[in-house]
Amino acid sequence: MSALPLPPLLDHHCHGVLRTDPTAERFASFLTESDAPPAPGTTFFDTQAGFAVRRWCPPLLGLEPHCPPDAYLARRRELGAAETTRRLLAGSGIGGLLVDTGIPGDLLGPAELAAAAGPGTTAREILRLERLAEHTADRTDDTRAFLDGLAGAVEDGAGTAAGFKSVLAYRHGLDIDPAPPGPAEVRAAAGRWLAGRSPGGRLTDPVLLRHLLWSAVRTGRPLQLHTGFGDPDLTLHHCDPLLLTGFVRATAPTGCPLVLLHCYPYHRQAGYLAHAFPHVHLDMGLALTHTGARATAVLGEMLELAPFGKLLFSTDAYGLPELYVVGAELFRRGLRHVLGAWVAEGVWAAADAQRVAAMIAADNARRVYGPESFG
Amino acid sequence: MSALPLPPLLDHHCHGVLRTDPTAERFASFLTESDAPPAPGTTFFDTQAGFAVRRWCPPLLGLEPHCPPDAYLARRRELGAAETTRRLLAGSGIGGLLVDTGIPGDLLGPAELAAAAGPGTTAREILRLERLAEHTADRTDDTRAFLDGLAGAVEDGAGTAAGFKSVLAYRHGLDIDPAPPGPAEVRAAAGRWLAGRSPGGRLTDPVLLRHLLWSAVRTGRPLQLHTGFGDPDLTLHHCDPLLLTGFVRATAPTGCPLVLLHCYPYHRQAGYLAHAFPHVHLDMGLALTHTGARATAVLGEMLELAPFGKLLFSTDAYGLPELYVVGAELFRRGLRHVLGAWVAEGVWAAADAQRVAAMIAADNARRVYGPESFG
Amino acid sequence: MSALPLPPLLDHHCHGVLRTDPTAERFASFLTESDAPPAPGTTFFDTQAGFAVRRWCPPLLGLEPHCPPDAYLARRRELGAAETTRRLLAGSGIGGLLVDTGIPGDLLGPAELAAAAGPGTTAREILRLERLAEHTADRTDDTRAFLDGLAGAVEDGAGTAAGFKSVLAYRHGLDIDPAPPGPAEVRAAAGRWLAGRSPGGRLTDPVLLRHLLWSAVRTGRPLQLHTGFGDPDLTLHHCDPLLLTGFVRATAPTGCPLVLLHCYPYHRQAGYLAHAFPHVHLDMGLALTHTGARATAVLGEMLELAPFGKLLFSTDAYGLPELYVVGAELFRRGLRHVLGAWVAEGVWAAADAQRVAAMIAADNARRVYGPESFG
């Protein structure tokens, strides 16, 4: 069953990678969600993500698995950022990317990522709603012009992007009034926000955050929602996906696909929502990368309540091309181990296991986002 | 250790099954707690419960394990509902049933289930408190007559039924005032409810829900409480069994056994309550059926804090006799795997494993509900 | 890999053990966090902790593993409390103890525990903040004298003890205002508390509890915080370590090490805090003892988000020297099993596994508490 065949993976949630070679310190900072230096006497390499990078990436750069961080970084510098990225992306076994372009910085964009990954790999954009609003606000402080501009940006995005993403979790927490705010309420909130906003100011107003969610839902394009763990900017118990239950109920009649990202340690709670509501889907990314050798166990927990047609592979890779490799390897390895054991014990049929593996690896993403999102 | 001997199982929480052969669509609807159609492009057969039915039931109807849904349903139609039910129940290895009769519909009752299961299988009733109140309200809208009638129904039920069940989780959520409401408060609430009630109206008034709980507790008969996941009618984070901590503390002096049903994904939290409070018990049903191939892992998590004398097997089967088979098989298989591994590693003695297995399979239920509940 | 070498363990959180031989009933009461008798028809020996004691302790007293409770207790009486304690502590493989002396009763103190464990074992004290306040209040009811005395006791403690411990979880729950209370607020709260206090009265005032936390944090000594399960005095969902997120953020600039004790069933949530904040650490004690044969699985879950330099072994042993043996055995066994499997599968390098094992077993405690705490 180690030979469980898998198609090229479709990565429905990822980010750009650094254009230039990072220092050792900056490299290590991408191995954690922490925004602080490591504790005195420790290093971010001594984490599951750090060990996973050292296990899976060195061979793609011509080194032995588990080689020391210094040797790995030296080899990386020797090859240069472009060649390193090319080797790692091409070796990841990923055939399609949906790239959240909402993080600023000198990162490769979707087309560059696809080019680096090599022939046959496609890339499309996922639009981060809060950035869309902030970019619009950067161009005008007139309420009507802002709201018209935002509506146009969402409408345009629905035509060009594979879907939308919300970071409500970071900006407010998930415990929101589920109903769409009325036009007058939105105008008043926009007026207040624009009047008090400094250039580059972040959107945290709950009325406008809800307006963004509902604007996206009305387009019918899939809407990704950050839930569960992330950087210390969020408060984890305010990111339990169950706090979205009211929003899930309110959006059910629209049929707009909701994709719950990350979810850990609330992935069983997210699985329940995917079980109970037809339009809810469950992402497997990030949790696998940051749990490393434990990813197989965590992946098993994701295969409980969620129907098999609702589970979506992703890497949530960001900054380092290594995180594409690690996310893909841990996923393939975990899925083969878990499903393989069930086939070996006779509780699943081999043909079912292959079918489910293909669904989670690629078919579900193609169905949810549309084949054009990977074409 | 695959030969860990187990007595016939006592299923302390289950429901009736359909009297007539269901359509394919209706059959599939019993494989999920969702009340909506499957997501476009998916089927409820592609779930852990669906795969478990296809694994364990076909052989009892003369088919190969894992046979396709269509072939299975064709064979089911060929045999007819009565014969299918007879074969499945008789093959489940269950020797005693406590049947929650609170779900309406054309379902087999306790005596019919016992007859279908064959000689030696007994069945007794569990009374759903909210239905008791609603049935009483269907017969009178006079407050005093209603409260007297309800008191009589609970008293009668304590004499005839094996225990009571509350679906407070669905009607209000578990976060209630733990104290028993006073008589005046109950009268006022009953008056309000009866005055505003349409025929068949559901009871959601928190004062009356608490009155029901305390009326049942005062009888001393075991009280089952729905906690954890269920259909989308509930809000899962309002069903964390820990929200009952105040009620558990308040009822501790009565010694009335409380049985926390389902619990997933809060089964560890429920295990803590069973650990800390003598009168709290932990049900293993539903979570096993809906996690299928993962049931062994979930069952392991239930064997942590809860004392071994507090764990109770059930199937929570409803609608399909298949769910009796699946609930029983997954339980036996999981228990044998988990305990067998501990014996093989030398951390448990074989005699202890056998004793604990018999406790969970049957002895605990007999002690908690009384031997007369399975006689 | 069963030969994964481990240094003598440093137990950063434990308690005294009984000076005299307990009755069977009292012995059993230490196998549970419950403060009530066992449920009718059950015994606390039929728990994971009970089975673990019967597995690991009899051989140290010259008996067969798994021997019946009666035989074990008879042998214990035959040897006497002192000799039993000596054999069990010496056999535990623990080389250093940090003893929380905040529980009253006729218990061995740190020096006596070290002497019983034999040459080479050291013991230092952990001061329980709430006891420090209560002891100070036992000597004066004058507000200024109380606050001066308390400040002096904390300052003295920082010089003599290895660290502090808070049981805020029991006294209030973890959901507190994270900011340090101002001097006037503290004076007013102290005045109120002292005026209303009976001799021996417990401290539950949230302002004073916060004052204690911040007094300890200002010393820079490690601060242990009870989180997760414990005796029924606490309400488990008020002990989710995530409720400390505000306090964690507020104390981050101080660098004072925070050590989250126990954590179960919220150990993944605690692991997130250790991942996100440099000064947060994760204890593995108690959860292992009370999950027994499941400790390996629970330990695996602790090895997910928490950086490897943030995990700390402890036994949380209390009352029975058996709990030192069980805590240490379950830890060594679990760690060897989990890390050994990763090495066998090739996902971790053997040298990394040895290094991480030594970190969790002893090196992290030495770094966090200072080498002088184990010297």
Residue C69 resides in a domain: no
Please tell me whether residue B11 adopts helix, strand or coil conformation.
strand
* Phi, psi at C281, each rounded to 5°: -125, 160
Overall domain count for chain C: 1
Tens digit of each residue's pLDDT (9 = 90 or more) over B97-130: 999 999 989 999 999 999 999 998 999 999 999 9
Touching check for B51 and chain C: CB below 8 Å? no
Is a pLDDT exceeding 80 seen at residue B3?
A: no
Listed residue (B222, B218, B301, B311) closest to B267, CA to CA: B301
Structure confidence at residue C1 as a pLDDT band (50, 70, 90): very low
Structure confidence at residue A158 as a pLDDT band (50, 70, 90): very high
224-253 of B, contacting C, C-beta below 8 A: 240, 242-243, 245, 249, 252
**Cα of A34 to nearest chain C Cα, Å:** 4
Tens digit of each residue's pLDDT (9 = 90 or more) over A6-25: 999 999 999 999 999 999 99
What is d(CA C80, CA C243) in angstroms, rounded to the nearest whole number? 44
Amino acid at B123: A
Determine the residue of chain A that is closest to B264 in CA distance. Answer: A268
Give the pLDDT of residue A200. Answer: 87
Is a pLDDT exceeding 90 seen at residue A346?
A: yes
Give the pLDDT of residue A286. Answer: 84
Q: What CATH number is given to the structural domain containing B111?
A: 3.20.20.140
* Phi, psi at A64, each rounded to 5°: -75, 145
Neighbours of chain B (3+ CB pairs under 8 A): A, C
**Arithmetic mean of pLDDT, B349-371:** 98
Listed residue (B137, B132, B148) closest to B213, CA to CA: B132
Determine the residue of chain B that is closest to A355 in CA distance. Answer: B46
Expressed in angstroms, the distance from the first to the final Cα of chain C is 30
Q: To 10 degrees, what angle do helices A295-302 and A267-276 make?
A: 30
**Arithmetic mean of pLDDT, C146-154:** 98
Tens digit of each residue's pLDDT (9 = 90 or more) over B143-153: 999 999 999 99
**Arithmetic mean of pLDDT, B139-146:** 96
Mean of pLDDT over chain A = 97
Instruction: State whether B309 and C42 contact (CB < 8 Å).
Output: yes
**Cα of A265 to nearest chain C Cα, Å:** 6
Q: Which domain holds residue B196?
A: 9-18+93-374
User: Residue C135: CB partners within 8 Å, gap ≥ 6?
Assistant: C153
What is d(CA A343, CA A144) in angstroms, rounded to the nearest whole number? 59
Tens digit of each residue's pLDDT (9 = 90 or more) over A297-327: 999 999 999 999 999 999 999 999 999 999 9
B211 close to B180: Cβ distance less than 8 angstroms: yes
Tens digit of each residue's pLDDT (9 = 90 or more) over C25-81: 999 999 999 999 999 999 999 999 999 999 999 999 999 999 999 999 999 999 999
Long-range contacts of the stretch B335-342 (C-beta < 8 A, 24+) = B335/B4, B335/B6, B335/B299, B335/B360, B335/B361, B336/B1, B336/B2, B336/B4, B336/B6, B337/B296, B338/B296, B338/B299, B338/B300, B338/B303, B339/B1, B339/B4, B340/B1, B340/B2, B340/B4, B341/B1, B342/C293
Burial C286-305 (b: 16+ CB within 10 A, else e): bbbbbbbbbbbbbbbbbbbb
Please tell me whether residue A4 adopts helix, strand or coil conformation.
coil
* Phi, psi at B41, each rounded to 5°: 85, 5
Alpha-carbon Rg for chain C in angstroms:
20
**Cα of A332 to nearest chain C Cα, Å:** 14
Give the pLDDT of residue A199. Answer: 87
Give the pLDDT of residue B375. Answer: 83
Residue C136 resides in a domain: yes
Tens digit of each residue's pLDDT (9 = 90 or more) over C292-307: 999 999 999 999 999 9
Place of tokens 């269950």: B94
Structure tokens of A296? 């197989």
Expressed in angstroms, the distance from the first to the final Cα of chain A is 30
331-360 of A, contacting B, C-beta below 8 A: 342, 346-349, 352, 356, 359
Residue B296 resides in a domain: yes
* Phi, psi at B100, each rounded to 5°: -75, 110
C102 close to C84: Cβ distance less than 8 angstroms: no
Amino acid at C285: G
Residue B280 resides in a domain: yes
Give the pLDDT of residue B2. Answer: 55
Give the pLDDT of residue B1. Answer: 46
Residue A323 resides in a domain: yes
Listed residue (A297, A329, A252) closest to A88, CA to CA: A329
Tens digit of each residue's pLDDT (9 = 90 or more) over A84-136: 999 999 999 999 999 999 998 999 999 999 999 999 899 999 999 999 999 99
Give the pLDDT of residue A2. Answer: 55
C85 close to C116: Cβ distance less than 8 angstroms: yes
- Strands lying side by side in the sheet with A223-227: A9-14, A94-100, A122-128, A163-166, A223-227, A258-262, A280-283, A311-312
**Who among C252, C308, C346 is closest to A46 (CB)?**
C308
**Arithmetic mean of pLDDT, C83-90:** 98
Structure confidence at residue B284 as a pLDDT band (50, 70, 90): very high
Which helix (DSSP H) or strand (DSSP E) does residue A188 occupy?
helix A183-196
Residue C23 resides in a domain: no
Residue B82 resides in a domain: no
Tens digit of each residue's pLDDT (9 = 90 or more) over C306-320: 999 999 999 999 999
Query: In chain B, what residues touch C51 (CB-CB under 8 Å)?
Result: 347-348, 352
What is d(CA A323, CA A362) in angstroms, rounded to the nearest whole number? 19
Place of tokens 């184990």: C374
Listed residue (A319, A294, A167) closest to A234, CA to CA: A167
Give the pLDDT of residue C2. Answer: 55
Mean of pLDDT over chain B = 97
Question: What stretches of chain C adopt beta strand conformation (E)?
Answer: 9-14, 94-100, 122-128, 163-166, 223-227, 258-262, 280-283, 311-312
**Who among A246, A278, A304 is closest to B294 (CB)?**
A304
Residue A4 resides in a domain: no
**Who among B243, B307, B347 is closest to C55 (CB)?**
B347
Instruction: State whether B301 and C290 contact (CB < 8 Å).
Output: no
Give the pLDDT of residue A1. Answer: 46
Structure tokens of A219? 């387009």
Tens digit of each residue's pLDDT (9 = 90 or more) over A234-293: 999 999 999 999 999 999 999 999 999 999 999 999 999 999 999 999 999 989 999 999
Give the pLDDT of residue C3. Answer: 75
